[in-house]
Structure 1
Amino acid sequence: MIRSGLPAPGLVPVALALAVALLAGCATSSKDAEMSGTFEGPPVAIGQGQAWTFVTLDEQGKAQTLGIRLSEEALSGLPADVPPSGAWEYDLQLPAEAAALGYDHVTLDWNPHGHIPEGVYDSPHFDFHFYAIDHSARDEITLDAASLERARKAPETDYMPEGYALPPGTEVPKMGAHAIDPSSSEFNGEPFTKTFIYGFYDGKVIFVEPMMTLDYLASRPDESIPVKQPAAYEKGFAYPTSYGIRFDKMGKRYEVTLEGLARR
């Protein structure tokens, strides 16, 4: 009998099927690799350094973390005077890969002398606003009579995060009203270090805001703090279940992040 080097006729279809499957698997892995990773927005000068946004996607292209990075030098040389608006606002553009989360842009606000209420938030600190509305919508928050009424409109009970309150006097132009957690340490005899704010306008959440002192951020923390949730969610953006504050020694940068993001 003469033996050839060719496979038996019945094995050819099986071999072809395996080859196709292998190629398809390689293509899928390649596609997943392209979808996953960390994507950054353009940097903006702040202090003696820079700040920029970033988003991290898993292999299915779903966002895991949205945040702001500040170079180590950004905490030095910050403005010491107070502008007419009360805070120095740095507008940060989000990377296109973050679009599915429903946030439009982010601002980093530097408050050299803090802000109200006196004795609570009047130390030098940063406000990190993650806005679910665009700039034109923010410009409509003028706090004239009609706008002030909308800013003071309380949300339906289920949309207020557990334990939060919307006190009068927290309305700010281009921001709206600020809901605070009265159980936070700064309202219970301890110095302010960090906290989490929900922003409302016309009864709806329009931003979420980690807020922290310059000294606390400069201490190079490594924390993930749970975020209290409402019973019902706005559909327009992804709520975080926690926020992180860390210093990346390798990258020599600070990170303030929204974590556990999900659109519900």
Structure 2
Amino acid sequence: MRVDQLGVCVSLSISAALLGLTTQAVAEEQVFTGEKVHLGMGSAQAFVRSENGQATAVGIMLSADSLNGLSKPQKGRSAYASYLIKLPASGPKTVFDHIEINWEPKGHPPPKVYDKPHFDFHFYLSGQQARNQVHFKSDADSADPSQQPPAEQLPQGFIVPPGTAVNRMGVHAINPASPEFQGKPFTSTFIYGYYNKQLSFFEPMVSLDFLKSKPQFSEKVARPAAYAKPGAYPSAYSIKYDDQTKMYTIALEELKEGG
């Protein structure tokens, strides 16, 4: 082979390699959406974002007007409301079965921490039938050894304190180092949920005031060392407002294999 031919071959090889890298770097992103559900004066719907056929995020989209016209406490009525959100029928599957939005117009315990209007976004691993079987004698059952998850399934720094057992949900694991437990105002936080020692839901909690501030928030989440069920689990979560689409997104991001 002549030297000039060798140069052409080398050049073609480099071009092909660069082309391959470019093709690989440009990921094909798709967003699949579920059915809309009426919320406030607007709507909510689930979405799954994927790249090259693999789910990378699952979340909720809220129209801007969904924050208006929400139920308010009245004498003799709590005004608490829940909304079942189905995941998209098409697109890549995830470990999640469904989502439920809980509107807490008066907040909930502990006092001076979560007692302000906020949303609980529950991303459930189990189906609705299994959730209906979740029952406790009292909220203190979360302290019972039968409800304490194995250490490897609890993220570092998280605990399951007494008073967090809720029927049709499970027990709630919190991080005592979170800002709201250090005297700072509650804006958002991330909670893990369990039932009979098994991971059952992920829960971003977001205050109404924080949503109305039109945030551009994202944060890594602590992951347990192991998961009982194989699949891709979140490594981060985000709360964002898009001024162009007038939509809020609350998402579990960076889904990665675990367990």
State the TM bucket, normalised to the shorter chain: 0.7 to 0.9
Q: Which residue of 2 aligns with 1:118?
A: 111
CA drift of 1:152 comes to: 5.4
Q: Provide the aligned C-alpha RMSD in A.
A: 2.4
Q: Which residue of 1 aligns with 2:218?
A: 224
C-alpha spacing 1:159/1:228, structure 2 compared with 1 (3 Å): same
Q: Which residue of 2 aligns with 1:68?
A: 60
Cα distance in 1 for partners of 2:171, 2:103 equals 18
- Structure 1 unmatched runs, 5+: 1-28
The amino acid that maps onto 1:180 is I
Q: Which residue of 1 aligns with 2:171?
A: 177
Q: Which residue of 2 aligns with 1:107?
A: 100
The amino acid that maps onto 2:238 is G
Cα distance in 2 for partners of 1:135, 1:46 equals 20
SS at structure 1 position matched to 2:232: coil
Taking structure 1 as the reference length, what is the TM-score of the superposition?
Answer: 0.81
Count of aligned residue pairs for this structure pair: 230
- Between structure 1 and structure 2, the one with the greater Rg is 1
C-alpha spacing 1:123/1:93, structure 2 compared with 1 (3 Å): same
The amino acid that maps onto 1:104 is D
CA drift of 1:263 comes to: 3.0
Q: Which residue of 2 aligns with 1:209?
A: 203
Q: After the TM superposition, which residues 30-41 of structure 1 pair with which residues of structure 2 at under 5 Å, given as runs? A: 36-41=29-34
Q: Which residue of 2 aligns with 1:190?
A: 184
Q: Which residue of 2 aligns with 1:22?
A: none
Q: Which residue of 1 aligns with 2:69?
A: 77
Taking structure 2 as the reference length, what is the TM-score of the superposition?
Answer: 0.83
Candidates 113, 119, 126, aligned match of 1:133: 126
Cα distance in 1 for partners of 2:146, 2:232 equals 24
Do the aligned partners of 2:106 and 2:115 also contact (CA within 8 Å) in 1? Answer: yes
Q: Which residue of 2 aligns with 1:46?
A: 39
Cα distance in 2 for partners of 1:217, 1:165 equals 27
Cα distance in 2 for partners of 1:192, 1:201 equals 26
Q: Which residue of 2 aligns with 1:254?
A: 248
Cα distance in 1 for partners of 2:153, 2:213 equals 34
Percent of aligned pairs with the same amino acid: 42
Q: Which has the higher strand share?
A: 2
SS at structure 2 position matched to 1:110: strand
C-alpha spacing 1:194/1:205, structure 2 compared with 1 (3 Å): same
Cα distance in 2 for partners of 1:185, 1:154 equals 24
The amino acid that maps onto 1:181 is N
Cα distance in 1 for partners of 2:220, 2:77 equals 34
SS at structure 2 position matched to 1:42: coil
